[in-house]
Amino acid sequence: MKSFNPPVRTLMGPGPSDVHPRILSAMARPTIGHLDPAFVSMMDETKEGLQYAFQTKNQLTMPVSAPGSAGMETCFANLVEPGDKVIVCINGVFGGRMKENITRFGGEAIVVNDDWGTTISLDKVEEALKENPDAKIVAFVQAETSTGAWSDAKRITKLAHDHDCIVIVDAVTSLAGSKLMVDEWEIDAIYSGTQKCLSAMPGISPISIGERAIKKIQSRTTPIPSWFLDLNLVMGYWGEGSKRTYHHTAPVNTLYGFHEALVMLMEEGIENSRKRHRENHYILRDGLESMGINFLVNEDDRLPQLNSVMIPEGYDDAEIRTKLLNEFNLEIGAGLGEFAGKVWRIGLMGYSSRKSNIELCLSALRSVLK
């Protein structure tokens, strides 16, 4: 066995995206203890930066020491009790994973289905709420990574609150790339990932929990089924003040990188970050359409940072992606589920969302499709 030296790739798939050199450099700094006063001070700054990213003042805002799927499981493990009726919106893979969490934690999933590649239907959500007045939670994905479709988190949240439900929102692909206002929209529980529009490495899951959700956690009549993800326990470590209760050994150097990602987001400004993602999408869109490559999702419902495009007729999905990887060191993503072999998913997230990457992607596609 020898030291591993990975090839240098350009990552333009559904994630991870390219990690900014500043973040890689931050992760190489000396490791200190996870209860060291200097590290605790950095934890406080990380919480402040994450509150900025989510646009919230929620005190229960923190990075879970595990990838985005653990953020999802944290929300469901703490908020879903056996017998709870949960309306879950499915218009892609990750809505389906929400349903899995509901059933595994003993909840009853009321499924609102929409076609993959379309936005969540507000009418269907409202109908489900009227038919299930005893529902406790509405769960949905704001930015469906499997298709690149965007859904209206603000209006879905209001619908849920009008029917006395709290919401759980998947913002893994939307955070720092699409408009997301946790306090203004009164989102109750939300989770994301670091490896998309924040330009950071995989392995951390930011979450934020509001007052309605905290009250539901505090009123549980059954124990939270996960020790590691029990927010009552972990907040002893991620709480306020200099005195912290040992809960787990945090991924110290990974959190250095996440802290640096938040510093960079604040330097750029969250509105500027969203604008960059949007403007780069238009450049990529125009280039792809000039080659006769069409989008899966209609323009009004399309994510700028995750572009699902139809594979031109006569071309083999895996063969083209293999050529891009081997000849251009360029990674784009395959389709999932019913779109496997039919679409490519091209990411423009975080540090990957820059004009030089777009030029590489378009020229490489021209070359392999000629």
Q: What percent of the chain has pLDDT over 90?
A: 96
Q: Fill in the DSSP letter of residue 163.
A: T
Distances (CA, A) of 163 to 166, 184, 202: 9, 19, 36
pLDDT of the residue at 244: 83
Q: What percent of the chain has pLDDT over 70?
A: 99
| CA torsion through residues 155, 167, 54, 98, sign | negative
Place of tokens 């994510």: 303
pLDDT of the residue at 365: 98
Residue-by-residue DSSP string for 262-301: HHHHHHH-HHHHHHHHHHHHHHHHHHHHHTT--BSS-GGG
Mean pLDDT for all residues in the chain = 97
Cβ neighbours of residue 12 under 8 Å, at least 6 residues apart?
330, 331, 332, 346, 347, 348, 352, 357, 361
The SS3 of residue 233 is: helix
pLDDT of the residue at 241: 64
pLDDT of the residue at 245: 87
* Strand-by-strand arrangement of the 333-334 sheet: 306-310, 343-347, 333-334
- Which tens digits make up the pLDDT trace of 158-172? 999 999 999 999 999
- Which tens digits make up the pLDDT trace of 106-118? 999 999 999 999 9
Kindly provide the b/e burial profile for residues 43-69, where b requires at least 16 CB atoms within 10 angstroms of the residue's own CB. Answer: beebbebbbbbbbbebbbbbbbbbbbb
- Which tens digits make up the pLDDT trace of 15-61? 999 999 999 999 999 999 999 999 999 999 999 999 999 999 999 99
Residue 263 has pLDDT above 70, yes or no: yes
* Domains of the chain in sequence order: 10-16+270-369 (3.90.1150.10), 21-266 (3.40.640.10)
Residue 273 has pLDDT above 80, yes or no: yes
- Which tens digits make up the pLDDT trace of 348-367? 999 999 999 999 999 999 99
Phi, psi (5° rounding) for residue 296?
-75, -45
Residue 299 has pLDDT above 80, yes or no: yes
The number of helix segments (H) and strand segments (E) in the chain equals 13, 14
Average pLDDT over residues 216-229: 96
Strand partners, 110: 87
pLDDT of the residue at 236: 86
- SS3 breakdown of the chain: % helix, strand, coil, rounded to 5? 45, 15, 40
| CA torsion through residues 147, 153, 158, 160, sign | positive
pLDDT of the residue at 370: 85
Around Cβ 205, how many Cβ atoms within 10 Å? Answer: 25
Phi, psi (5° rounding) for residue 206?
-70, 140
> What is the token pair recorded at 370?
């000629």
Average pLDDT over residues 90-119: 98
Cβ neighbours of residue 44 under 8 Å, at least 6 residues apart?
none
Nearest C-alpha neighbor of 192 from the set 214, 168, 175, 167: 175
Cβ neighbours of residue 36 under 8 Å, at least 6 residues apart?
none
Residue 242 has pLDDT above 70, yes or no: no
Q: How many angstroms separate the CA atoms of 176 and 193, rounded? A: 11
